[in-house]
Copies of this chain bind each other. A is one copy, B any other.
Amino acid sequence: MDRKNIPRATVRRLSLYCRYLAEIREQDIEYVSSRELGGGIGTNAAQVRKDLSFFDRFGTPGRGYPVGFLHQRLEQILGIDGRRWQVAIIGVGRLGSALVDYGGFLKHGFHVVAVLDSDKKKIGQTVKSLTIEDVADLKAVIERSRVDIVVVAVPAEFAQRVATQAVDAGIRAVLNFAPATLILPEEVNLRHVDLAVAMESLSFHLIR
């Protein structure tokens, strides 16, 4: 099974299945059918079975999927089992600081190990026991802290530069919050969280 050939949409749903399974696991439910699992994340039974079939035969015909086992396997597949991904956040504005102590990071195996900014007034201050470092030292910080994932939370006009520097320093995964399109080498994993795009798509569909 080559991870490159898995549909993006499937990976997205894997996260949602995983979250749903965590919830019903708490309720000591032992088996879940593809229909229930699909309903729980807003898709259908066939989609669930197809998604899971990319990886293995997790289910038992006539019964469904064993909740605990499937949950555990999905965490392995997503790479959030035990493992700790080292995250650096660049840009400590409103959004950046909200992200630093966003509980969700730690909970799911992501660990913020560095915070950077270009503002001399911020450099040296601490956020959640992390000292804000100079973005000019990005490469050194990435290497020293063994950063896996870079979160870009700087103003739009600096986003491309910062992202390129991160990639030059060896980074292969970038999560961009800046309202800007980043152009990076094909092999770099890039995700956008774009408020403007989301709002405008709502606006588009509200008309008429």
Q: Give CA–CA (A63, B95) in the complex, Å.
A: 41
Q: Give CA–CA (A180, B102) in the complex, Å.
A: 15
- Quote the shortest CB–CB distance from A34 to chain B (angstroms): 16
A3 with B197: CB separation less than 8 A: no
B105 with A197: CB separation less than 8 A: no
Q: Is the C-beta of A82 less than 8 angstroms from some C-beta in chain B?
A: no
B80 with A149: CB separation less than 8 A: no
B198 with A8: CB separation less than 8 A: no
Contact string, A93-105, partner B, CB cutoff 8 A, digits 1/0? 0110110011011
List 20 additional contacts besides A19-B196, A42-B183, A78-B204; criterion CB under 8 Å: A3-B207, A8-B201, A11-B205, A14-B200, A15-B194, A15-B197, A19-B179, A19-B180, A39-B183, A40-B181, A77-B204, A79-B204, A85-B206, A102-B195, A104-B195, A149-B199, A149-B203, A172-B206, A175-B199, A175-B202
